[in-house]
Amino acid sequence: MDTSTAEGRGTTTVAALDGVCVRRLTTGQVILDDVSWRVGAGEHWALLGANGAGKTTVLRLIGALMHPTTGTVEVLGHRLGRVDVRELRAAIGLVSSAQKVPLDAPARTVVLTGATGTVQPLWGKYDQAVRDRAEALLAELDCKELAERPFGVCSGGQRARVLIARALMADPSLLLLDEPFNALDLPSREDLIDAMHRLATVRPRLATVTVTHHLEELSPAIGHALLLKEGRVQALGPVAQVLTGEALSACFGRPIDVSHHDGRWLARSARR
């Protein structure tokens, strides 16, 4: 395991980008330009920026789903290009509303597939300990009552929590969430925020990176933020220093007011 530190605080680094550039091979378009960033164990990051800023590309890099054009990417102590990414991906939890899972499968089965990293269940691989872990994770994400419900009839918020339970089956050190709040109504959003806050409390070494468009979706556990603009780092660091009206206005190109109350954030247009 990598013994370098995150932000100089002695925190074990679980993911690091150094001087990373990504260019589209067919057109030469620059997607990321000289991005350097570190995520430490137990840190919870928000990744924000306008559409096309490069957020998903950053997530794909630290999820070992692609390689940079130049620069280096290290995840869980391994440098991309020098490691079997299939083994590395097994140690990274990824949650996305675009994930392909059988809609007719019960939620319990969807969670079980996280143990094998497969779309369809491999029943011969799931002993009693694996099954017990799936039940415990459903309970931890407050969706135990959904165990027998087909995934396709679960609400958006329920699906998100089931997918997080699935991602945790491999006991990852890094959990990546790509717009997990997409299309959720207010109660579902708040249930998911509460679940993420609890997760941070009971798993102090787990690092998370959440891609979102809305500050209102950040749980009180989020302690760091990275702002991207046109593929470059606009700002990064503790949320109190990054989630400011000045920084967000520069990132999104319009005046933005930011407020903070009881651990939650609110951003709105400052135009009158």
Q: CATH no. for residue 264? A: 3.40.50.300
Same domain (yes/no): 121, 163: yes
42 and 165 housed in the same domain: no
- Pair (261, 205) in one structural domain: yes
> Which of 113, 136, 171 is where one domain is finished?
171
Same domain, 167 and 182: no
Same domain, 192 and 260: yes
- Residue 170 CB neighbour total at 10 angstroms: 16
Could you tell me if 34 and 147 lie in one domain? no
72 and 204 together in one domain: yes
pTM of the model: 0.90
The token pair at 39 is: 């995520």
With residues binned 3-state (H G I as helix, E B as strand, rest as coil), the percentages for the chain, rounded to 5, are 35, 30, 40
Rounded alpha-carbon distances, angstroms, from residue 120 to 105, 221, 262: 9, 33, 42
The pLDDT confidence band at residue 8, using thresholds 50, 70 and 90, is very low
pLDDT at 272: 56
The last residue of one of the domains, among 144, 171, 198, is: 171
What's the confidence (pLDDT) of residue 10? 53
Backbone φ, ψ for residue 203 (5° rounding): -125, 75
Is 86 in the same domain as 181? yes
What's the confidence (pLDDT) of residue 4?
Answer: 42
pLDDT band at residue 182, thresholds of 50, 70 and 90?
Answer: confident
Give the pLDDT band of residue 85 (cuts 50, 70, 90): confident
The per-residue pLDDT for range 121-163, each reduced to its tens digit, is 899 999 999 999 999 999 999 899 999 999 999 998 899 999 9
Provide the token pair at 57.
């590309």
Res. 2: pLDDT tops 50: no
Spatial separation of the C-alpha atoms in residues 180 and 159, rounded to whole Å:
10
**In a shared domain, residues 29 and 137:** no
Residue 171 corresponds to which tokens in the numbers above? 């006991």
Does residue 130 share a domain with residue 81? no
CA distance 5 to 9: 6
Residues 25, 134: one domain? no
Task: List residues bridging with 175 in a β-sheet.
Answer: 93, 208
DSSP letter for 173, please: S
Range of the domain at 165: 99-171
Q: Work out the average pLDDT over 91-96.
A: 90
Percentage above 90 pLDDT, the chain: 75
User: What integer pLDDT is reported at residue 90 of this predicted model?
Assistant: 84
* Whole-number Å distance between alpha carbons of 227 and 233: 6
For the chain, how far is it from start to end, CA to CA, in angstroms?
52
Asked if the model's pLDDT at residue 79 lies above 50, the reply is yes
Does 132 lie in the same domain as 19? no
**223-to-42, 60, 94, 146, 186 alpha-carbon distances in Å:** 10, 22, 20, 31, 23
Instruction: Tell me what the mean pLDDT of segment 62-91 comes to.
Output: 91
From 122, 153, 171, the end of a domain falls on 171
Rounded Cα distance, 122 and 116, in Å:
7
What pLDDT band is residue 48 in, cutting at 50, 70 and 90?
A: very high
Please state the domain count of the chain: 2
Pairing of strands 70-75, 174-178: unpaired
HSE (side-chain half, CA atoms, 13 Å) at 139: 6
